[in-house]
Structure 1
Amino acid sequence: MKKILLMVGLLLSWNASALEVAGVQLADKVQLGTANLLLNGAGVRTKFFFKIYVGALYLPQKQTSGEVIIADEREHRMALHILHELSSEKFSSGFNEAIRSNHTPAELAALDAQLKQMAQIFEAMKEIRPGDVVTLDYLPGIGTQIGVNGKTFGSVPGAAFNRALLDIWIGSKPVQEDLKKELLGG
């Protein structure tokens, strides 16, 4: 009987530490290359009353400053747990719109090749369905690997490109303020 109670207690404590957002169960930790990453925060991206995705930010250590996270060039993951079906064109245009709103024309010109490469990767995905998990994994020396459900669709080189991606969610002009707050552990 004591063993059963101990097992029940362990299971309950495990479930209590796991985070669930909008019905999506999020891992507390993920492995990226040789790095162990911790869930920094997570929240829901909405647009016109639609829940689009649950965004989850994984870092080597917890951090509450968007500026510090964006400047850090260690491994990290932004995971998008899709809640609403999207074509690759809508997905790509949403990213481009958010990046444009955070950068000057000169900065955008410097990122032009990477933005085109990202668009090609998104085009290869075709359609993103509810339940899919899009990962944006930053690996120093490689760049940002973009994948869906564990399958890598391509990589975009450069730390500057990855900083532009992070600006979407935790920069000075995020796509959604409450999502930024949640990703930063708020």
Structure 2
Amino acid sequence: MNRLFRRGLLAATLLATPLAFAADLAGTHIDDRASVAGTELVLNGAGLRTRFMLKVYTIGLYLPKRSDSLVSVSASPGAKRILITTLRDLSADDFANALIEGVRRNQSDADLANLQSRLDEFRTTLLGLRTAPSGTQIRIDWLPASGTRLSIGNETRGKDIPGEDFYRALLRIWIGNKPVDEDLKNALLGKR
């Protein structure tokens, strides 16, 4: 009886604990965990961004705990990470414009006006890259103490941008009501 109880307890524990998973997409390995601002994060989901049947980048979403909707991701306290790995050479101008357009598609005019100066700052930082060759890792982290941090490889670029509303606006590019790609949204939310 004791052995049966232990097996049942183990099964219940495994079912109650979200399992982390690593992903290999388009030749890119995406780790199952990340550490941001001293917080251990789990890979919520990962996907492949394609455009006109061309592979553009892989993306992983890291959170303190698994979430399956924009509402629960946005409400989740603590650090977060978006990890993008380019699969082709991208110009900074094209990449920045695509991100800004993704933000615009998912914001009201009033919200967009509130974000505009920070979007301009973010775009200027991205343009400073000039190009993102294939294999470039781009990290967009939410650090509760300081804001949104952009890193290319292991190098921080620009200043941290304050306001969690700004990070949520970036998240909406991929998991908002008008995502860049519906299949990618489902992948990042762990629905496929």
CA RMSD of aligned residues (A): 1.1
Distance 1:150 1:64 in 2: 29
Q: Determine whether 1:152 maps to 2:156.
A: yes
- Write the mapping of 1:99-114 to structure 2, written as runs, cut at 5 A: 99-114=103-118
Q: Determine whether 1:174 maps to 2:179.
A: yes
Q: Percent identity?
A: 37
Contact (CA 8 Å) 1:67, 1:171: kept in 2 or not?
no
SS of equivalent to 2:71: helix
1:32 aligns with: 36
TM-score after normalising by structure 1: 0.88
Deviation (angstroms), 1:67: 1.5
1:12 aligns with: none
Q: Name which of 73, 77, 80 aligns with 1:76.
A: 80
1:117 aligns with: 121
TM-score after normalising by structure 2: 0.85
Unaligned runs of 5+ in 2: 1-20
Q: Determine whether 1:126 maps to 2:130.
A: yes
Q: Name which of 52, 58, 74 aligns with 2:56.
A: 52
Distance 2:77 2:176 in 1: 15
SS of equivalent to 2:139: strand
Distance 1:33 1:102 in 2: 28
Deviation per residue, 1:9-66 (Å, 9 max, x gap): xxxxxxxx53211111111111111100111110001111111100100011111122
- Write the mapping of 1:81-96 to structure 2, written as runs, cut at 5 A: 81-96=85-100
SS of equivalent to 2:128: helix
Distance 1:65 1:104 in 2: 20
Contact (CA 8 Å) 2:42, 2:62: kept in 1 or not?
yes
Distance 1:18 1:28 in 2: 4
Deviation (angstroms), 1:94: 0.2
Deviation (angstroms), 1:71: 2.9
Unaligned runs of 5+ in 1: 1-16
Letter matched to residue 80 of structure 1:
I
Letter matched to residue 19 of structure 1:
A
Q: How many aligned residue pairs are there?
A: 170
2:190 aligns with: 185
Contact (CA 8 Å) 2:64, 2:76: kept in 1 or not?
no
